[in-house]
């Protein structure tokens, strides 16, 4: 078979595998499916960095009593910025192998074995990158853990851990930029913060970039226990209400994504009460994910890759997967390398996760486990 002919066959076969693999990645992964359903997969992205404007406060409203108004310039925006990340899977065929596989059928058979492995490798990596810390792992995607770090000082009485990291160049520590918060309750959710947050009231600047980190192993949930199976209902309830408190209706969570053991324990908790479990949202059922629960209108599901003892509250409308190719995966080659007398090609992804603000998200963890 002529060089150009076999290259065309390889390219065609590769694109067929890629098309099916990308579709399978989206359809079989719950978060990917929800993102596609809501138009949150963005393709053809460009630029040296991924940047977006963040509104951290509103112009101040003052009481008017007939005097002179105070006109001041409004500086209520900050810029968030992260870099692009990439992944690649490679393969090669030397000239001798090509000559031995000049028949079209032999060539297709060879890549019917190799191409699925290349795609499977890339798919498995993408599956778990949603949960990665892109600051700790400087060459991987900015997954959820990028902005869900705590200060490490949570005690067993704390219901909330103190956010303490940066995301896209901005601090997640409540009050780091500006603003104040009420401190009226006797027992504060976090001894480190010493305010009513994430309950109470305060300035929007105080928590514009702060996620809710819920310590499900706290003794402060009112159950007299510090296990997930005993605290799960009240923890999820407070997570829902605390997220909506400063964000309004737009802050309503879409999904609780929890570790498999936590998911099973939640089901056990309901069965012990002889309660009929309500399935997930109609959206997830229509997307092909019928197995799950629902509490206060938020679906509770599990998925591969969620870390042990951990759960995440997601607001899907405030997250995107930005892709630099015009599709999820793309291939390059085959290209001839004279030095090695080989044909080279790769399958890859370039892009990153983007979250409008950490404040729309919740993490569940046994922060005071020991």
**DSSP 8-state class, residue 5:** H
* Residues 58-89 pLDDT 10s: 777 777 788 887 777 677 889 999 999 999 99
Locate 341 and state its tokens.
């007398």
Domain-embedded: residue 360: yes
The per-residue pLDDT for 38 is 95
DSSP of 223-278, one letter per residue?
A: SS--SHHHHHHHHHHHHHHHHHHTTGGGG---EEEE-HHHHHHHHHHHHHTT-PPP
Residue 154 counted as domain residue:
yes
Residue 44 CB contacts under 8 Å (≥ 6 apart), including other chains? 323, 324, 325, 326
- Host domain of residue 210: 1-60+78-370
Query: What's the average model confidence in pLDDT over 149-163?
Result: 97
pLDDT mean over 158-171: 97
User: What would you report as the CA-atom Rg of the chain, rounded to the nearest whole angstrom?
Assistant: 25
CA torsion sign for 253, 256, 257, 258 is: positive
| Residue of 312, 270, 278 whose CA lies nearest to 295 | 278
Q: E-strand spans in the chain? A: 41-42, 50-55, 77-82, 85-94, 160-161, 166-167, 170-171, 212-215, 255-258, 293-295, 298-302, 310-314, 319-323, 330-337, 342-355, 362-365
- For the stretch 217-230, pLDDT in tens is 999 999 999 999 99
Task: Decide if 144 is inside a domain.
Answer: yes
Domain contains 66: no
Is position 177 within any domain?
Answer: yes
| Residue 19 domain flag | yes
CATH number at residue 134: 3.90.1690
Judged against a pLDDT cut of 60, whether residue 2 lies above it is answered with no
- Number of structural domains, the chain? 1
The average confidence (pLDDT) of the chain is 89
Domain membership flag for residue 273: yes
Question: How far is 160 from 242, CA to CA, in rounded Å?
Answer: 11
- Judged against a pLDDT cut of 70, whether residue 177 lies above it is answered with yes
Q: How far is CA 325 from CA 139, 161, 318, 328, in A?
A: 18, 38, 21, 7
Please check the confidence at residue 275 and state whether its pLDDT lies above 70. Answer: no
Residue 70 lies in a domain: no
């Amino acid at each position: 078979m002529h060089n150009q002919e076999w290259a065309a066959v390889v390219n065609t076969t590769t694109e067929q595998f890629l098309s099916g693999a990308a579709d399978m990645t989206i359809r079989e992964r719950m978060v990917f499916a929800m993102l596609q359903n809501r138009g949150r997969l963005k393709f053809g992205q460009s630029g040296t960095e991924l940047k977006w404007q963040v509104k951290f406060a509103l112009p101040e409203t003052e009481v008017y009593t007939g005097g002179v108004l105070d006109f001041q310039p409004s500086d209520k925006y900050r810029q968030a910025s992260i870099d692009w990340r990439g992944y690649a899977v490679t393969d090669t065929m030397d000239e001798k192998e090509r000559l031995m596989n000049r028949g079209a059928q032999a060539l297709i058979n060879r890549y019917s074995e190799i191409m699925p492995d290349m795609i499977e490798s890339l798919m498995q990596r993408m599956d778990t990158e949603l949960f990665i810390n892109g600051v700790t792992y400087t060459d991987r995607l900015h997954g959820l853990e990028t902005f869900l770090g705590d200060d490490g000082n949570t005690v067993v009485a704390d219901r909330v851990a103190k956010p303490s990291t940066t995301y896209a160049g901005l601090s997640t520590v409540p009050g780091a930029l500006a603003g104040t918060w009420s401190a009226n309750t006797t027992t504060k959710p976090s001894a480190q913060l010493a305010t009513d947050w994430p309950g109470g009231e305060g300035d929007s600047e105080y928590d514009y970039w702060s996620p809710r980190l819920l310590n499900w192993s706290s003794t402060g949930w009112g159950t007299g226990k510090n296990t997930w199976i005993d605290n799960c209902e009240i923890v999820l309830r407070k997570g829902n209400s605390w997220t909506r408190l400063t964000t309004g209706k737009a802050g309503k969570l879409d999904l609780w994504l929890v570790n498999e053991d936590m998911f099973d324990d939640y089901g056990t908790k309901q069965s012990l009460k002889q309660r009929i479990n309500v399935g997930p949202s109609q959206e997830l059922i229509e997307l092909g994910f019928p197995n799950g629960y629902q509490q206060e209108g938020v679906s509770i599901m599990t998925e591969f890759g969620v870390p042990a003892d951990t759960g995440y509250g997601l607001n899907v409308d405030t997250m995107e997967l930005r892709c630099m190719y015009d599709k999820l995966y793309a291939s390059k080659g085959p290209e001839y390398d004279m030095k090695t007398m080989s044909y080279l090609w790769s399958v890859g992804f370039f892009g990153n996760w983007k979250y409008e603000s950490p404040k729309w998200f919740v993490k569940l963890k046994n922060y005071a486990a020991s």
